[in-house]
Amino acid sequence: MLSAIMEDYLKAIYYLQDETDERVRTSTFAEHMDVEQPSVTSMVKKLAERDFVHYEPYKGVVLTDTGIPIALEIIRHHRLLERYLTERLEYDWAEVHDEADRLEHHISSQFADRIAEQLGNPAVDPHGDPIPTADLDVSPPQSGETLADQQVGEKVRIERVPDHDPDLLRYLSEHGITPTTVVEIVETTSFGMVTLDPDGTDERVALPEEVARIITTQTLTGASN
Ligand SMILES: [Zn+2]
């Protein structure tokens, strides 16, 4: 059995190595997890002893073929729980991440499969993140583009929003922005503000660049403009 902390480490390494496409430095990791570097190093060594990660001092850490499926299983639990909580237990999408972070370590893969079945095997969680299948396949994001990459006049569909900031999530949903919403870019400024006109609302919403840069988008196929 793995402890919840070990599982959290494997999950975090998975995310970070996905972002950088290379070994994760323990310093990067310490910053991301908000823990001291010596405790990161000692945990990473324990995970390496059990063959979940490869670790080389000064080079960093990467998941092994044993570690990857464990990380993906936890991510599957997390995202299915988020979906279940919003869809069946009427949680607000801003509240589900923390709840799922706690519960993800305590359900079996059979329980996760039952949730998936109940929900009709959803492909994405409420934030638009892909849910790994029971075989632990995970679909890559469609375009890799974000709101910050768009030109004025462009219309795009919101794909994924970051799941961990409740204030941001509340702000976005109050302004009509959730995954699958179609938005038109109405203004961008030299200091980074991006103003959007979401379909189905009468108001416009301005986002700072650091937010626009972490909201991914899909290009509309068959759009007339
Ligand atoms: Zn989450």
Domain spans, the chain = 4-64, 147-219
Residue 155 is given by DSSP the state E
Q: What's the 1 CA to ligand 1 centre distance in angstroms?
A: 23
Task: Quickly list DSSP for 74-142.
Answer: HHHHHHHHHHHHHHHS---TTTHHHHHHHHTTSS-HHHHHHHHHHTT--SB-TTSPBPP-TT---PPPS
What H or E segment, with its residue span, contains residue 81?
helix 67-88
Q: What's the 125 CA to ligand 1 centre distance in angstroms?
A: 8
pLDDT at 224: 47
pLDDT at 225: 45
Q: What's the 97 CA to ligand 1 centre distance in angstroms?
A: 4
pLDDT at 54: 95
Check if the beta carbon of residue 179 is closer than 8 Å to that of residue 161: yes
pLDDT at 200: 79
Q: How far apart are the first and last CA of the chain?
A: 54
Q: What's the 82 CA to ligand 1 centre distance in angstroms?
A: 7
Check if the beta carbon of residue 61 is closer than 8 Å to that of residue 11: no
Q: What's the 80 CA to ligand 1 centre distance in angstroms?
A: 10
pLDDT at 144: 81
pLDDT at 208: 95
Q: What's the 190 CA to ligand 1 centre distance in angstroms?
A: 32
From residue 150, give the alpha-carbon distance in Å to each of 155, 194, 223. Answer: 9, 9, 15
Q: What's the 149 CA to ligand 1 centre distance in angstroms?
A: 24
Q: What's the 158 CA to ligand 1 centre distance in angstroms?
A: 17
Q: What's the 156 CA to ligand 1 centre distance in angstroms?
A: 23
Chain position carrying tokens 């790994």: 132
167: β partners = none
Class of domain 4-64 (CATH, top level): mainly alpha
Closest C-alpha among 151, 209, 216 to residue 19 = 216
Phi/psi for 187 (5° steps) reads -160, 140
From residue 85, give the alpha-carbon distance in Å to each of 2, 65, 118. Answer: 25, 31, 12
Q: What's the 47 CA to ligand 1 centre distance in angstroms?
A: 23
Please, what are the averages of pLDDT over each run of 10 residues along the chain (225 residues)?
Answer: 92 85 84 89 95 92 95 97 97 95 96 98 95 91 84 94 93 92 94 91 90 92 54
Q: What's the 64 CA to ligand 1 centre distance in angstroms?
A: 23
pLDDT at 141: 65
Closest C-alpha among 79, 78, 57, 53 to residue 66 = 53
pLDDT at 142: 66
CATH number, domain 147-219, options 3.40.630.10, 3.40.50.920, 1.10.3720.10, 2.30.30.90: 2.30.30.90
Q: How big is the CA angle at 194 (ends 192 and 198), to the nearest 5 degrees?
A: 170
Tell me, rounded to whole angstroms, the distance of Cα 40 from its chain centroid. Answer: 22
Chain position carrying tokens 């919840």: 4
Give the burial class of 48: count Cβ atoms within 10 A of its Cβ; 0-12 exposed, 13-18 middle, 19 or more buried.
Answer: middle
Q: Residues with Cβ within 5 Å of ion ligand 1?
A: 97, 163
